[in-house]
Amino acid sequence: MNGKRIPAVLATVAAASMLLAGCGTGTGTGTAAGDDDMTAKIEAVTDEQLKGTSITMSRMFGDCEETTKGVTDLAMAASECEAIQILTNKFNAENEHGISVERLGGADWNSYYDAFNASIAGGEPANIANLHDYALSDYARRAQLVSFDPAALDIDMDDATEQAQNSVTYDDKTFAVPFDSHAILAHVNTDVLGAAGYMDADGRPVMPTNADELMAMGQAVKEKTGKPLMSVGFANDDMAWRMFYSFVRQQGSDLIVDGEANVDSAEAKAAMELLQELIDNGYIHTKADYSGSIEEWKNGESAILVNGTWGVNEYASTATFGYTVTDFPTIMDEAAVWASSHMWVLPVQKDNDPVKYRASLEFASFLYENTSVWATATGHIAPRVSVVESAEYQNAPERANYTDTALENISFVPQVENWTAIKSLIHKQLEEVWFNGKDLDSALTEAQQRVGQELK
């Protein structure tokens, strides 16, 4: 749910980032973020000091407090909002310190970062808040987040996936507790794919392993069913961009390398040429937005929907045709797929109260311990190896079919300043190719120049 409408907020997030970078915020003075003395103070907080502490939380995932009021049974969680609210209820009811968590702000994904940035600018952010991996460095570099030692607080980061461990650090310090990862997958209509001859004897899709096989699959689906191979959000959506990024990463490259723009690379050109070949052959089309691509696929008008982990539970329970999911296919040299993540951070407070920081970390630790509940209820990937490999997780709908994505294939975007603005500059040039017929080389060259200027 939270990975699907990034274009709608790119401009506001970028603008807010620039605003915060250029003005005093009332927080982020450097007295806590990355401060070893504050880390020691947090670790020294006693059980007695924690008793009855009240903290505030800012989060996304929607609003469902009325329907989950008083519910602490984690088995009742069936959506993002229900899962996070029931987890909060359970913590409030059962934690040994009597810590209470009150939601301060945040509801829908579209408005979350605007409200969070405003709270930081006003000097009164929540004690604990959501971020995505790509946003962490923007706040950490401005000393607006508190760093901490997970091991000293019994947060077992050794159990975290490699990707999760890397995503929560900045400048060799830990600034977040991971909550999930979410990546794009291939959601398959097995009826359509079967009609094209691409289901094996075990009832699993036969997915392409190179560009020739991908084109052959597209041709077979088109000839035998009259339908496109894939439904993909192009118009006012990020899904096609995520395919592009996945193909770049599958070649062992990236769009930012060692802090320098690498957008006009041979790998980026090859990724775009592959997408353009799919378009030119009619195996995908550029007309659909996010909702339109889902509607097309749900109506049986394509074989594969390119969408995220967040749709798995819904599609598994509502599809009117044979449904399964696979890892996003590896078409280039190595397995890799666009991914993002949710995490929990501690915004720096005016009073720098180590007790409230510690209480917030107690809550974050509880959420980390219960990532199995979150991942099972939402379709998102658990950030812990033990959870991904557990029978409970593997038995949840379709999870066993994207274990490779969960443990190995995830490719987060570069952790650089103002990534949202950089990504927007690249995406704009790709759209010029897809919608306005701009020459590919010219588009990549312009993107390279603009990203280079942004990085400077």
User: CATH code at 37?
Assistant: 3.40.190.10
Q: Indicate whether 11 belongs to any domain.
A: yes
**In this structure, what are the phi and psi dihedrals at residue 393, rounded to the nearest 5 degrees?**
-70, -45
Query: Residue 16 — pLDDT band, cuts 50, 70, 90?
Result: very low
More confident residue, 439 or 6: 439
192-232 pLDDT, tens digit per residue, is 999 999 999 999 999 999 999 999 999 999 999 999 999 99
CA distances from 219 to 43, 164, 302, 349, 384 (A): 61, 38, 13, 58, 40
Show the tokens assigned to 256.
Answer: 């930012």
17-28 pLDDT, tens digit per residue, is 433 333 333 344
Do 11 and 157 belong to one domain?
Answer: yes
Mean pLDDT of 35-53: 92
Do 326 and 222 belong to one domain?
Answer: yes
Q: Indicate whether 37 belongs to any domain.
A: yes
Do 258 and 357 belong to one domain?
Answer: no
Q: Indicate whether 436 belongs to any domain.
A: yes
Report the residue count for the chain.
456
Do 110 and 143 belong to one domain?
Answer: yes
Do 12 and 67 belong to one domain?
Answer: yes
Has residue 129 got a pLDDT over 50? yes
Distance from C-alpha of 303 to C-alpha of 227, rounded to nearest angstrom: 8
Mean pLDDT of 63-68: 89
Mean pLDDT of 32-42: 76
Has residue 425 got a pLDDT over 50? yes
Has residue 437 got a pLDDT over 60? yes
141-188 pLDDT, tens digit per residue, is 999 999 999 999 999 999 999 999 999 999 999 999 999 999 999 999
Do 65 and 146 belong to one domain?
Answer: yes
Has residue 309 got a pLDDT over 60? yes
Query: Residue 330 — pLDDT band, cuts 50, 70, 90?
Result: very high
> Is the CB of residue 35 less than 8 Å from the CB of residue 147?
yes
DSSP letter (8 states) at residue 310: G
Do 329 and 376 belong to one domain?
Answer: no
Contacts of 54 (CB under 8 A, 6+ apart): 99, 100, 102
Distance from C-alpha of 163 to C-alpha of 178, rounded to nearest angstrom: 10
Mapping DSSP onto H, E and C, the string for 127-189 reads: CEEEEEHHHHHHHHCCCCECCECCHHHCCCHHHECHHHHHHCEECCEECEEEEEEEEEEEEEE
Amino acid code (one letter) for 429: Q
Quote the pLDDT of residue 17: 40
Do 314 and 362 belong to one domain?
Answer: no
Distance from C-alpha of 145 to C-alpha of 140, rounded to nearest angstrom: 5
> Is the CB of residue 447 less than 8 Å from the CB of residue 263?
yes
Mean pLDDT of 223-242: 97
Distance from C-alpha of 90 to C-alpha of 320, rounded to nearest angstrom: 35
Q: Indicate whether 379 belongs to any domain.
A: yes
* Mean confidence (pLDDT) of the chain: 91
Do 72 and 206 belong to one domain?
Answer: no
- The three-state secondary structure class of 2 is coil
Domain tally, the chain: 2
Helix (H) or strand (E) run with residue 421 in it? helix 419-436
Show the tokens assigned to 415.
Answer: 């952790």
Show the tokens assigned to 178.
Answer: 């991971």
Query: Residue 80 — pLDDT band, cuts 50, 70, 90?
Result: very high
Q: Indicate whether 273 belongs to any domain.
A: yes
State pTM to two decimals. Answer: 0.90
Taking the CA atoms of the chain, what radius of gyration do you get in angstroms?
22
Using the 3D structure, point to which of 392, 408, 424 is the last residue of a domain. 408
Do 291 and 433 belong to one domain?
Answer: yes
Query: What residue numbers bound the domain in which 100 lies?
Result: 7-181+341-408
DSSP letter (8 states) at residue 328: P
Residue 60 burial (CB count, 10 A)? 24
Q: Indicate whether 264 belongs to any domain.
A: yes
Q: Indicate whether 2 belongs to any domain.
A: no
- The three-state secondary structure class of 116 is helix
Quote the pLDDT of residue 22: 32
Mapping DSSP onto H, E and C, the string for 37-73 reads: HHHHHHHHCCHHHHCCCEEEEECCCCCCCCCCCCCCC
Using the 3D structure, point to which of 391, 408, 425 is the last residue of a domain. 408
Q: Are strands 410-412 and 337-345 parallel, antiparallel or unpaired?
A: parallel
Quote the pLDDT of residue 35: 66
Q: Indicate whether 437 belongs to any domain.
A: yes
Do 236 and 138 belong to one domain?
Answer: no
Has residue 396 got a pLDDT over 80? yes
Using the 3D structure, point to which of 408, 431, 447 is the last residue of a domain. 408
**In this structure, what are the phi and psi dihedrals at residue 408, rounded to the nearest 5 degrees?**
-135, -35
Do 328 and 351 belong to one domain?
Answer: no
Has residue 191 got a pLDDT over 70? yes
